[in-house]
Chains A and B, each alone.
Chain A
């Protein structure tokens, strides 16, 4: 169990809890159950939790599968710095958010699930895990045409660019013979046409 990142599971659990809170809240509000205003709270809390938990954090080892379209929320969540990076804060936040929903039967399932997610986040925080945003890799753009060489003047097989350059540099320095002169083949080539 040494390398389990509990925060990843806590994240899935919290996201599910958010959805359950929203559903329970909608049922309570639409049905105008007794104390339905807790339902309205539950919808708001659920939406907040879903938005906070949607961007998946980066795994310490290996590649992380991003959720579709998460980069927009990642930039927002990143802004809060230590508040969103630290899992102790998340554990406490989720625990506090879950409490009011516990007063209504329709949303009590959301409370239980969010409280469990809070517990798993606490475990993750104790083990020193942190939320790191998944950054898109900067795309390396080599200049178009930068590696195209002039069409070669000598027939194949040709040595690589450096070997070709060096003689010309030496020649430029020594003002020697013509660059790229007749090819000196390493293995003697004989014409086999009879």
Chain B
């Protein structure tokens, strides 16, 4: 397929992937993928205009501050960057956001959350990792709690989640724990992903699907 000067040619745009393919593999429709492309272009050109989302651009988009470092944003970035090349391409962006779609399978959300919290990617959420994350959150919020209270919170959580009492939470224990506390998955769903086409209308004259039928 060649590029026609009368239409916006997207094939030469770096990072672009066929929306029909992405829609087939994710919870998004073709229009939603096209809308996400508008969003992706905005974020990926904010500092370095190369069609890829760099860490600073991600931080800029989330915190309005490109230099703000945050443990949790780092985890999200690393998980989105599943090719592990230090940048988020359009395909990675769409496929990762798909997990947050209200229609995405709950099993995917549970698995994603587990990998998010498994800071050192050992396949387990260790007690130290959990404490580290609690401390990071308190620090971020300028909340001060005594170490005793933090220990107590972590202990109570671990007592409930670590059924095998081996000092770490494996994926099976995590699934069980989430089924008892479903609100833990609340941050794994972004309801407005359903409205994405309203917020980011696509400027393409005809959709990709129509083109291919010509």
**Physical interaction between A and B:** no
A residues within 8 Å of B by Cβ? none
B residues within 8 Å of A by Cβ? none
